């Protein structure tokens, strides 16, 4: 899922300062799981901004609302109507959600309340770890389901570097927490699966052209769209 983190409140305050009636809109999917975009987060953001502007001489009204998904126009246009008087939207969604909202509500500034961080998975309650870089040329079939692009600090494709010690990456020291060496994990997984011969298959030149270097990527559903 997409993981988003709250922007510093000081930055958000500056973003909304010039507007008098701001609607804080939470997103109930990916970022809701990371507790930064759901209904509760939208209410808390409204309260925090209201408190920040409590002594302001200018009028600042912070309402809040929630959408199931902000990244799909079909989930916005039929089900969501802006309250009267809104002159800006503060979106608690990923960058794709912010841009989709801006496309729908022409003439209304849509401001980001989050920083989009990474594609992650919840390995334990409250802990989301980066697992996918969206590189467009997936190697998981060769690496036992463990991504060396997202999970190796150096994005290595041909085994561990000299900084791997006892199954841990050398960046563990600077981060102050244990970070598994991705290639140690890959080796152990392939061994468990009886697929260590895959090591000899890895090493082909990766097709980086699908990672977005040629402009914004697009996916079109084949045949009839499901919507």
- Number of domains into which the chain is organized: 2
pLDDT tens-digit map of 122-171: 888 878 889 998 888 888 888 999 999 999 999 898 888 999 889 999 99
Going by DSSP bridges, is the β-strand pair 21-27/61-67 parallel, antiparallel, or unpaired?
A: parallel
One domain, residues 105 and 159 = no
Is the pLDDT at 60 greater than 90? The verdict is no
One domain, residues 79 and 173 = no
Q: What is the CATH number of the domain that holds 82?
A: 3.40.50
Last residue of a domain, one of 63, 82, 117: 117
With a pLDDT cut of 70, the percent of the chain lying above it is 89
18 inside domain: yes
One domain, residues 102 and 180 = no
Identity of the highest mean pLDDT range in 14-28, 69-83, 138-152, 169-183: 14-28
135 phi and psi, to 5 degrees? -80, -10
Which pair of tokens denotes residue 36?
């930064």
pTM, whole model, 2 decimals? 0.81
pLDDT computed for residue 227 by the predictor: 47
One domain, residues 32 and 111 = yes
Closest by alpha carbon to 75, among 29, 127, 119?
A: 29
One domain, residues 106 and 7 = yes
Closest by alpha carbon to 25, among 8, 7, 37?
A: 37
> Which residue range is the domain that position 98 belongs to?
2-117
Which pair of tokens denotes residue 82?
């802006």
4 phi and psi, to 5 degrees? -125, 145
Is the pLDDT at 212 greater than 70? The verdict is no
- Lowest average pLDDT, out of 3-12, 21-30, 52-61, 66-75, goes to 52-61
**How many residues can be counted in the chain?**
227
One domain, residues 62 and 149 = no
Residues 59-90: b if buried by 16+ CB within 10 A, e if exposed: ebbbbbbbbebbbeeebbeeebeeeeebebbb
How does the average pLDDT of the chain come out, rounded?
Answer: 87
Is the pLDDT at 93 greater than 80? The verdict is yes
227 inside domain: no
One domain, residues 12 and 93 = yes
Mean pLDDT to the nearest integer, 170-178: 88
pLDDT tens-digit map of 33-54: 888 999 999 999 999 999 999 9
Measure the CA–CA gap between 25 and 67, rounded to whole angstroms: 7
Give the contacts of 93 (CB within 8 A, at least 6 positions apart): 4, 25, 26, 27, 31, 37, 67, 70, 71, 101, 114
Q: What SS3 class is residue 195?
A: coil
216 inside domain: no
At how many degrees (to 10) do helices 39-52 and 9-16 cross? Answer: 70
């Amino acid at each position: 899922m997409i993981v988003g983190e709250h922007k510093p409140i000081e930055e958000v305050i500056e973003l909304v300062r010039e507007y008098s009636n701001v609607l804080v809109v939470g997103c109930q999917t990916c970022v809701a799981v990371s507790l930064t975009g759901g209904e509760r987060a939208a209410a808390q953001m409204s309260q925090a901004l209201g408190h920040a502007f409590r002594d302001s001489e200018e009028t600042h009204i912070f309402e809040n609302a929630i959408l199931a998904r902000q990244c799909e126009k079909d989930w916005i246009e039929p089900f969501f109507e802006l309250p009267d008087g809104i002159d800006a939207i503060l979106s608690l969604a990923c960058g794709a959600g912010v841009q989709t909202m801006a496309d729908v509500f022409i003439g209304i500034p849509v401001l980001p309340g989050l920083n989009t961080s990474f594609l992650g998975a919840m390995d334990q309650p409250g802990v989301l770890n980066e697992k996918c870089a969206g590189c467009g040329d997936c190697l998981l079939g060769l690496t036992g389901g463990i991504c060396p692009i997202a999970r190796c600090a150096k994005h290595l494709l041909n085994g561990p570097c000299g900084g791997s010690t006892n199954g841990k990456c050398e960046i563990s020291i600077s981060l102050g927490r244990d970070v598994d060496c991705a290639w140690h994990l890959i080796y152990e997984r392939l061994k468990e699966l009886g697929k260590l011969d895959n090591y000899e298959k890895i090493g082909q030149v990766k097709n980086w052209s699908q990672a977005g270097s040629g402009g914004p990527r697009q996916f079109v559903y084949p045949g009839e769209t499901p919507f």
